[in-house]
């Protein structure tokens, strides 16, 4: 073999050795096995159902199954801790929510993870609107009448909510914004809260739209207003709080995909591209709308900034009301 042939062989060998390593380092070989999508709440709820819809669509795009695993408990903190401590290889993801990645860090002391530093943001996924609803016999039927009633008899009326959740804290912001007083009646879940409002034990409920929709349509609950920036499909006749005299009021829950910190940038980029693709399909948007969810995607950088802003906003609210859950 002459010198030119030897150099050519060395170059080919070097290229053969380097290219697989580079592709692996950049996530080019990912995914090569099933991916877990962790949900911090029980099966059957809005977050779980959204995760399953997203997982199926992502699996079809990635060529590997995306399997939803539920790890409920401690308002999502168990699942959050599990993902934070998982290998940063792109095979364990989380559908995080406003409680897990904006609210809980202000409610629980000594959490074993940092909800910002221990995660790599991938993309926002959905916005989850809240609603103010009432027993049909409640004398107020809109925000103007509700505020007038609450100001006439400060502290007389109660509202049902799960303490520390997005709907509860939305109620606290509403109280501040409108300058009214209401007392929280705590519940462990949406179902018992709604049941007691229907029965007349509590006059008002602040809750996600999804679990209230069937009762609104049946007339067992009446809608006062939605807290989203715009009116909602299926509830077009229900005004927003912003339309009802408080133009700056717009609060929604949300969910998004995160991975453990240290996940290769190329894997995060691929995930982001695929999440954004499936969220933009009419099929997935229609399925989310059936759950009263509005799809919303983002870049990883936008999602990181969004989580930080939400963390700051809800931290200020929680400090003002002095709420702690442990």
Buried b (16+ CB within 10 A) or exposed e, 90-127: bbbbbbbbbbbbbbbbbbeeebebebbebbbbbbbbbb
How far CA 232 is from CA of 82, 124, 278, in Å, comes to: 35, 19, 22
How confident is the model at residue 28, as a pLDDT?
Answer: 62
Question: Residue 79 pLDDT more than 80?
Answer: yes
Residue 133 above 70 pLDDT?
Answer: yes
Q: What is the pLDDT of residue 21?
A: 33
**pLDDT average, residue stretch 40-56:** 93
Check pLDDT > 50 for residue 23.
no
Burial class (CB in 10 A: 0-12, 13-18, 19+), 279: buried
For 129-137, what is the mean pLDDT? 97
Decide: residue 62, CB within 10 A, 0-12 exposed, 13-18 middle, 19+ buried: middle
pTM of the model: 0.86
Q: Say what the pLDDT of residue 159 is.
A: 98
22 vs 20: CA distance, rounded Å: 5
Confidence of residue 5 (pLDDT cuts 50, 70, 90): very low
Q: How confident is the model at residue 88 (pLDDT cuts 50, 70, 90)?
A: very high
Predicted confidence (pLDDT) at residue 325 exceeds the cutoff of 90: no
What pLDDT sits at residue 14? Answer: 37
> Is pLDDT larger for residue 204 or for residue 29?
204
Is pLDDT at 314 greater than 70 in this prediction? Answer: yes
304 has pLDDT over 90:
yes
Q: Does the pLDDT value for residue 7 go beyond 90?
A: no
């Amino acid at each position: 073999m002459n010198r030119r042939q030897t150099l050519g062989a060395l170059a080919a060998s070097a290229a053969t050795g380097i290219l697989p390593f580079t592709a692996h380092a950049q996530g080019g070989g990912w995914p090569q096995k099933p991916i877990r999508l962790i949900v911090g709440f029980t099966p059957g709820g809005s977050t779980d159902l959204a995760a399953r819809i997203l997982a199926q669509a992502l699996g079809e795009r990635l060529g590997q199954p995306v399997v939803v695993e539920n790890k409920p408990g401690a308002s999502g903190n168990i699942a959050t801790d599990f993902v934070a401590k998982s290998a940063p290889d792109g095979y364990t993801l989380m559908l995080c929510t406003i409680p897990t990645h904006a609210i809980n860090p202000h409610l629980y002391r000594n959490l074993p993870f940092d909800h910002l530093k221990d995660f790599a943001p991938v993309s926002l996924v959905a916005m989850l609107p809240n609603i103010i609803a009432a027993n049909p016999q409640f004398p107020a039927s809109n925000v103007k009448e509700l505020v007038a009633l609450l100001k006439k008899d400060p502290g007389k009326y109660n509202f049902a909510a799960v303490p520390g959740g997005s709907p509860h804290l939305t109620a606290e912001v509403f109280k501040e914004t409108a300058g009214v007083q209401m007392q929280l009646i705590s519940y462990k879940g949406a179902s018992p809260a709604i049941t007691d409002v229907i029965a007349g034990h509590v006059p008002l409920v602040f809750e996600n739209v999804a679990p209230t929709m069937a009762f609104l349509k049946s007339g067992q609950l009446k809608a006062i207003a939605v807290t989203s920036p715009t009116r909602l499909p299926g509830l077009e006749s229900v005004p927003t709080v912003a339309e009802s005299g408080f133009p700056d009021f717009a609060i929604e829950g949300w969910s998004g995909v995160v991975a453990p910190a240290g996940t290769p940038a190329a894997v995060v980029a691929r995930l982001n591209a695929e999440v954004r693709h499936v969220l933009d399909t009419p099929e997935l948007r229609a399925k989310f709308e059936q759950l009263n969810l509005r799809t919303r995607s983002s870049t990883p950088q936008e999602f990181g900034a969004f989580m930080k802003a939400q963390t700051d906003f809800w931290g200020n609210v929680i400090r003002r009301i002095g709420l702690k859950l442990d």
